[in-house]
């Protein structure tokens, strides 16, 4: 990996264009963001079509990104096509800019394979079919459905993937069982099941000051959409435990290339992604997310927004029964018979990084930008909110 960046890139990272973002930002910082864009489509190739024609949701997602102006952007629910055409087209849209928002160039990109939509050939959900979306290694209609991607203005090294790691190989794996005690999957199926519902990646980035920052990202399955066996709840918690194992460099861990371990002790990292688990509210098993948030090397900045607190109070329903602070919510879900608004999207830096700020892009209703997140007018970007974090890297 190169040890220096071109001067112009360093200057661009240190000082984004004046007036380009409503968020204050210190010089000498690098901004990292994670965003579940909800840009998944019902068929292969449809996202590329929608990006090409600049449909309203695509433009709304792009505008959120251009307002926050991250140097590193982690995307969830962004469909993968084998040639990466949809991601390239989206990157071109960001480079062009929108209206009075200047463009952002992301020369370094990664979009590896994911388990969602990848056929297993096994009846994983017990419905008698072997080719339904629930029979893929991760739920999905086609390979690449609900994909993940990285866009970066920082040089990106070789990404390690743990997509193929077997669930049964996780120490203390929470194997799903029927209420009568029978295993939900037979032994042969259990031995083949992959833990990651999309993928787990560890991506090294070169900071402007020469340090290496490891971006550890995943998108665990929602802990719902199952039965009394709670197989998705168990998988969600164990997918988050796999993130913790990567941080610990566990000696039993193997990546997709067969190489052992994860991060080295003392490595600087940021955990990024939609983890689909709130530490207080919702249906997730708490052991996974609480274990990660309480990890001795992890700092939880607990980013907040005025818009999240306002929305929870106005929407009521499930939100009125929540015990966690509404200001930290990052997803706006059904408030009647659904879970309400929850904190599920995270940026968690290692304690050896100096942090300058963190937040959630959820404008209050009086802000014109509220239209981007469902403030009563179209277009609407996503049911998730972009989360951002600034770290010091002179």
> For the segment 270-302, what is each residue's pLDDT rounded down to a tens digit?
999 999 999 999 999 999 999 999 999 999 999
Q: Is residue 37 part of a domain?
A: yes
Closest CA to 116 of 51, 56, 40, 46: 40
Strand order in the sheet with 72-78: 108-110, 148-152, 72-78, 29-39, 387-392, 355-360
Q: Is residue 22 part of a domain?
A: yes
**Domains held by the chain: number:** 1
pLDDT over 50 at 393, yes or no: yes
189: number of Cβ within 10 Å: 15
> For the segment 50-70, what is each residue's pLDDT rounded down to a tens digit?
999 999 999 999 999 999 999
pLDDT over 80 at 6, yes or no: no
Q: Which residues are within 8 A (CB) of 222 and not within 5 positions of it... i.e. 6 or more apart?
A: 232, 236, 276
- Alpha carbons 119 and 142: distance in angstroms, whole number: 8
Report pLDDT for 376.
53
pLDDT over 50 at 217, yes or no: yes
- Alpha carbons 356 and 364: distance in angstroms, whole number: 23
Q: Is residue 155 part of a domain?
A: yes
Strand order in the sheet with 268-274: 160-161, 200-206, 212-218, 268-274, 345-349
pLDDT over 50 at 82, yes or no: yes
Report pLDDT for 379.
62
What is the Cα gyration radius of the chain?
20
**What does the pLDDT average to over 62-89?**
98
Report pLDDT for 202.
98
Report pLDDT for 378.
56
Q: Is residue 135 part of a domain?
A: yes
Q: Is residue 2 part of a domain?
A: no
At 121, phi and psi to the nearest 5? 75, 10
C-alpha 270: how far from chain center: 12
**What does the pLDDT average to over 346-372?**
96
pLDDT over 50 at 240, yes or no: yes
**What does the pLDDT average to over 157-175?**
98
pLDDT over 70 at 204, yes or no: yes
Beta bridge partner(s), residue 36: 76
Please name the helix (run of DSSP H) or strand (run of DSSP E) that holds residue 234, with its range, or none: helix 231-248
Query: 73-87: buried (b, 16+ CB within 10 Å) or exposed (e) per residue?
Result: bbbbbbbbbeeeebb
Integer CA distances (angstroms), 279 to 112, 284, 297, 300, 385, in order: 29, 8, 18, 12, 17
Q: Is residue 358 part of a domain?
A: yes
Integer CA distances (angstroms), 127 to 88, 123, 130, 139, 184, in order: 37, 7, 8, 14, 12
> For the segment 251-260, what is each residue's pLDDT rounded down to a tens digit?
999 999 999 9
DSSP string, 173-194: ----B-TTS-BSS-HHHHHH-B
Q: Is the pTM of this model over 0.85?
A: yes
The CATH number given to whatever domain includes residue 383 is: 3.60.10.10
Report pLDDT for 1.
38
Determine if residue 392 is left, alpha or beta; phi over 0 gives left, psi from -120 to 50 gives alpha, anything else beta: beta
Q: Is residue 1 part of a domain?
A: no
| 375 — pLDDT class (breaks 50, 70, 90) | low
Q: Is residue 315 part of a domain?
A: yes
pLDDT over 50 at 129, yes or no: yes
pLDDT over 70 at 17, yes or no: no
Tell me the residue range of the domain where 364 lies. Answer: 7-392
- The Cβ-side half-sphere exposure at 341, using a 13 Å CA radius, reads 27
C-alpha 29: how far from chain center: 21
């Amino acid at each position: 990996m190169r040890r220096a960046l071109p001067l112009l890139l360093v200057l661009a990272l240190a000082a984004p264009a004046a007036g380009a973002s409503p968020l204050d930002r210190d010089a000498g910082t690098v901004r990292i963001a994670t965003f579940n864009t909800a840009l998944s489509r019902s068929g292969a190739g449809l996202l590329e079509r929608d990006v090409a024609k600049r449909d309203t949701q695509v433009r709304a997602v792009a505008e959120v990104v251009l307002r926050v102006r991250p140097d590193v952007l982690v995307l969830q629910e962004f469909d993968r096509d084998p040639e990466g055409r949809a991601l390239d087209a989206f990157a071109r849209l960001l480079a062009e800019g929108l209206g009075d928002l200047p463009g952002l160039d992301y020369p370094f990109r990664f979009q590896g394979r994911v388990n969602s939509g990848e056929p297993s050939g096994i009846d994983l959900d017990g419905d008698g079919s072997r080719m339904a979306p629930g029979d893929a290694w991760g739920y999905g209609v086609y390979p690449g459905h609900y994909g993940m991607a990285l866009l970066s203005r920082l040089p990106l090294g070789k990404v390690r993937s743990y997509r193929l790691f077997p669930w049964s190989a996780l120490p203390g794996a929470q194997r799903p069982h029927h209420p009568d005690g029978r295993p939900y999957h037979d032994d042969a199926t259990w031995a083949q099941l992959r833990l990651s519902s999309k993928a787990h990646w560890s991506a090294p980035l070169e900071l402007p000051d020469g340090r290496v920052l490891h971006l550890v990202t995943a998108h665990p399955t929602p802990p719902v959409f199952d039965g009394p066996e709670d197989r998705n709840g168990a998988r969600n918690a164990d997918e988050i435990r796999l993130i913790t194992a990567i941080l610990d460099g566990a000696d039993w861990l193997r990546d997709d290339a067969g190489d052992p371990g994860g991060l080295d002790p003392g490595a600087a990292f940021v955990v990024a992604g939609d983890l689909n688990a709130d530490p207080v509210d919702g249906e997730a098993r708490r052991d996974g997310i609480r274990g990660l948030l309480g990890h001795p090397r992890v700092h939880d900045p607990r980013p907040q927004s005025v818009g999240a607190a306002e929305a929870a109070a106005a929407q009521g329903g499930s939100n009125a029964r929540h015990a966690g602070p509404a200001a930290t919510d990052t997803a706006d879900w059904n408030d009647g018979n659904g879970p309400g608004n929850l904190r599920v999207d995270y940026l968690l830096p290692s304690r050896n990084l100096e942090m300058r700020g963190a937040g959630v892009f959820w404008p209050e209703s009086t802000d014109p930008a509220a239209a981007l997140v469902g403030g009563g007018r179209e277009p609407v970007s996503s049911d998730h909110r972009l989360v951002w974090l600034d770290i010091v890297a002179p």
